[in-house]
Structure 1
Amino acid sequence: MTFDQFWSWQAAADLLPELLTAFVKVTLLVTVVGTIVAVVLGLSLALITQVTPSVIARPVRWVMDVIRMTPLIVQLVFASFLVPVDWNLLWVGTVVIGVHYSTYMAESFIAGIGSVDRGQWEASRALSLPQARTWRAIVLPQAMRATLPSLGNWTISMFKDTPYLFAISVLEMVTVAQQAGNNTFRYNEAFTIAGLIFLVASLVTALAVRRLEKALVY
């Protein structure tokens, strides 16, 4: 087998715009919106488990465990069966991915809250600070700094899980690469480019999280 049979620079150049378009319109969009959903919902779940009575916190914990213990692809298919047929499955999938990852981010937030020194809590009580202000001004800022690295890791994992959207007929980047390979028989180029786009996006995300982490520390 010659190199030209294995790899064609012209085919790669022809496929790049199509794959980049799929990345921006689906993969990146789902990851950004899904991360926002996951962070907001994850923080809410963490606070519910920490400040509410056990009669509320315990069922919430059970629901979180069920979501974490079932495969994302099953949740996507199940959700697609539940919604009306005229709903946009891209947004359905985005919400499902966001909810799925919110349970992992909630655990990260819980760990971050647990890392706050007990002296901080005692000092706030000694100063008679309201509980809401204690959480807002003392606990959550420190918990966010401790949680940020793991949140970045979950965001990168979300990037890599977007191909599961093929199960509900959403044409994300890997599915587009598969179709391009079927049409041109240039599978090597299609999947290599898709893999490189994932790699670059993950590296950029990791670097951004590290810079944000340093900015919060200093």
Structure 2
Amino acid sequence: MIWSWDYARSVLPILLDVIGTTMLATLWGFLIACTVGMVLAIARRSRFALVRMTINGFIQFVRNTPLLVQLFFLYYAVPMAFGFTMTAFTAGIVGLGLHYSTYMAEVYRSGIDGVDRGQWEAARALNFTKQQTWTRIILPQAVPPILPIMGNYLIVVFKETPLLAAITVMELLSRANNIVARDWRPTEPYTLVGILFLVISLLLSGLVSLLEYKLAQRQKR
């Protein structure tokens, strides 16, 4: 028999047991991506050419190398080269965060470029410091329009979490692999993993759509 509902029901709780790890990796990775991405976006506008070149070089390097390679480097190479060890989970969220921070930097750039130039001039006329200009004028106007795009990247980060299985993080795919290795029944575990990813992705997508709707309604007022 190809599919057994009894077997599927028996392994589902085992898979659900690691949903928390998957969601934590997603949320922490996305938080790091948003934070570091903001720093990168602001640093790219530095008046110092060396800073701009360094940041652009870092972004291009990270974006043009596979995330899986970066995860292996953080988990296996960094401890050997620098003596700095991380748990697999920490290496996973750092890898996810740094990788997608380079994409978030571009998202922030588009939001910042969308702020009217007159806002910068007004800040200078009012003798605002750089910190005041960014925190009180530019970012409050730049971030709201890009929130839906940021939400889409949250979904992307979630769908990338199976890569953490490669560095032994016990998330959904890792647990499914263990079940398959134990019982040698791949159909049910992998199908359930696919369904769980689909359901959660659709829920996150629904939240992003709701956010877009709320922002559209606010702009009409």
Partners of 2:100 and 2:31 in 1: CA distance: 10
1:16 Cα deviation from its structure 2 partner: 1.0
How many equivalent residue pairs? 213
Task: Give me the CA root mean square deviation.
Answer: 2.0
State the percentage of identical aligned residues. 39
- The answer as to whether partners of 1:115 and 1:146 remain within 8 angstroms in 2 is no
What is the aligned partner in structure 1 of residue 201 from structure 2?
202
> Is 1:100–2:99 an aligned residue pair?
yes
- Structure 1: 4+ residue segments shifted above 6 A: none
Partner secondary structure for residue 12 of structure 2: helix
Contact 1:43–1:109 (CA under 8 A) maintained in structure 2? yes
Query: CA offset at residue 155 of structure 1?
Result: 1.3
* Structure 2, unpaired ranges of 5+: none
TM-score, normalization by structure 1: 0.88
Spell out the pairing of 1:10-21 with structure 2 (5 A cutoff): 10-21=6-17
Residue correspondence of structure 1 range 100-179 to structure 2 within 5 A: 100-179=99-178
Query: Structure 1 residues 5-14 or 179-188, which shifts more?
Result: 179-188
The 5 Å alignment of 1:5-44 reads: 5-25=1-21, 27-44=22-39
**Partners of 2:185 and 2:40 in 1: how far apart?**
45
Report how far residue 132 of structure 1 moved: 2.7
Partners of 2:59 and 2:194 lie apart in 1 by 31
Q: 1:174 to 1:36 in 2, by over 3 A?
A: same
Structure 1: any 5+ residue segments left out of the alignment?
Answer: none
Q: CA deviation at 1:181?
A: 2.2
Q: Which amino acid aligns with 2:199?
A: V
- CA distance in 1 between partners of 2:119 and 2:147 (Å): 20
One-letter amino acid of the structure 2 residue matched with residue 48 of structure 1: A
Whichever residue aligns with residue 17 of structure 1, its letter is P
Secondary structure, aligned partner of 2:95:
helix
